[in-house]
A and B are shown apart, each in its own frame.
Chain A
């Protein structure tokens, strides 16, 4: 060993004599985060959303205590049923009913809570013709947050405060359809296709493994050029990193979901779902991704929705909080 090597050895082995000054790691906390203890946040979420909604002041998606819950990736090890989905076809025969997993259910409601602030009151008796939507009923909350997901809107809430959230990009419709497509027969898919005028039946020309608008795995982002962002900006460039293990690959970034609040603009960026193949947990690459905002940022903070709740929250990716830019 030469002098330089010896110097490095001596220097670095000083670490062995240093007391570790941070609190010991808690295996329960780590494993709880790994498995996402679902009932706690979900109960809190349900309570917070409905209390606020019933108070008539709207859903405080991005208030300091009622932050929206961003999408959580499908956790392959959690396969319990989270909700039933009735395909309300009004076809003269019994509606198909299929089940979705807890993780998909969580993600669906997280998606809703990200956007629920934009919902408006509507008449629950409004006549719906033809395809009357996917009726989602949580198994552990059958009297609570039943959703009716239409191709262009989501309807939900108690009769006295029934709401409609417009969904012109069909985010919810596609999400649920992609989740249950494998459980529906071709004739049901064709029936949905016919009544909605939306091509949902399998298209032989499309690659079967590339469903449209697929909601994927959690990723976090940072602004790559924060110094160039101004209140007038409508285009921003993100550095996106997949949260989970994926052999160092972030992969394809899915379209960003942007929620325009009064004080904040929350941006959730998912990445294409990782296969069930084993993966090394080396740090994943950072992928550049451009987002066009429909309106200038103004005097609003830019927020990474993945850091508001869900499995990214509490990781070092979110250690500095969720805010990525402040005017």
Chain B
């Protein structure tokens, strides 16, 4: 059994990845940083009691995802100075079909309800199974599947609508 990294080492090594995950869910870098920091702060007092290895990574990710959803809930309760920051999106200028679809998927992600967005991010960014998504979000697996399938249906509809418009 390998030696588990210290809290400090873990934070330094994993922060960027978790920040990106949190950014995809919150769509705001400051909120993402808050969420990851909140997650680590909550875990720190019992860091040595956390499961080891991949299970620890999964546990930390789950904590950060839930911190993201908590941040989003609070954000809804408070006025946001600049709503545009909620949808920072690196949209490509390339017009190829695949990239256009990805652009639309990116935009759509910003508009999805938070739990649905988190499910999509975990599914397609983290390659989580539906069971893992359900565990991370604290919902039944059927709900996790429903979140993802609804998002895909919405995207399919949008892409179809886009074709019609052209």
Contact = CB atoms under 8 A, between A and B. Distances in A.
Interface of A: 2-18, 20-25, 27-31, 33-35, 75, 77, 222-223, 239, 241, 244-245, 248, 278, 280-284, 286, 315-317, 319-320
A25 B36 contact: yes
Contact of B102 (A11, A17, A77): A11
Given A35-B44, A283-B66, 4 more contacts: A18-B20, A29-B37, A30-B44, A319-B30
A20 B124 contact: no
Interface in B1-21: 7-8, 11-12, 15-16, 19-21
Contact of A281 (B63, B105, B121, B124): B63
B128 interface: no
Given A11-B105, A34-B44, A282-B66, A4 B152 contact: yes
Interface residues of B, number: 62
B38 A25 contact: no
A25 B11 CA distance: 7
Nearest to B153: A4
B36 A8 contact: no
B104 A7 contact: yes
Contacts of A75: 45
A282 B33 contact: no
A35 B46 CA distance: 11
Contacts of A27: 7-8, 11-12, 40
Contacts of B77: 222-223, 239
B125 to A, nearest CB: 4
B138 interface: yes
Contacts of B70: 241, 283-284, 316-317
B57 interface: no
A215 B163 CA distance: 61
A209 B109 CA distance: 47
- The 5 residue pairs across chains A and B that have the minimum distance between CB atoms: A316-B34, A34-B44, A283-B70, A10-B102, A7-B101
A7 B67 contact: no
Given A20-B20, A25-B40, A319-B34, A10 B155 contact: no
Contact of B41 (A2, A23, A33): A33
Contacts of A11: 102-103, 105-106, 109
Contacts of A222: 74, 77-78
A22 B32 contact: yes
B120 interface: yes
A86 to B, nearest CB: 32
B23 to A, nearest CB: 6
B156 interface: yes
A326 B8 CA distance: 40
Contacts of A319: 30, 34, 74
B155 A30 contact: no
A281 B21 CA distance: 17
B125 A316 contact: no
Contacts of B38: 315-317
A21 B29 contact: yes
Contacts of A5: 124, 152
A112 to B, nearest CB: 26
Nearest to A241: B70
27 contacts: A4-B105, A4-B156, A10-B98, A10-B102, A11-B109, A12-B24, A18-B20, A18-B23, A20-B23, A20-B29, A24-B12, A24-B15, A24-B16, A25-B11, A25-B15, A34-B41, A248-B66, A280-B62, A280-B63, A281-B42, A281-B66, A282-B63, A282-B66, A283-B69, A283-B73, A316-B67, A319-B30
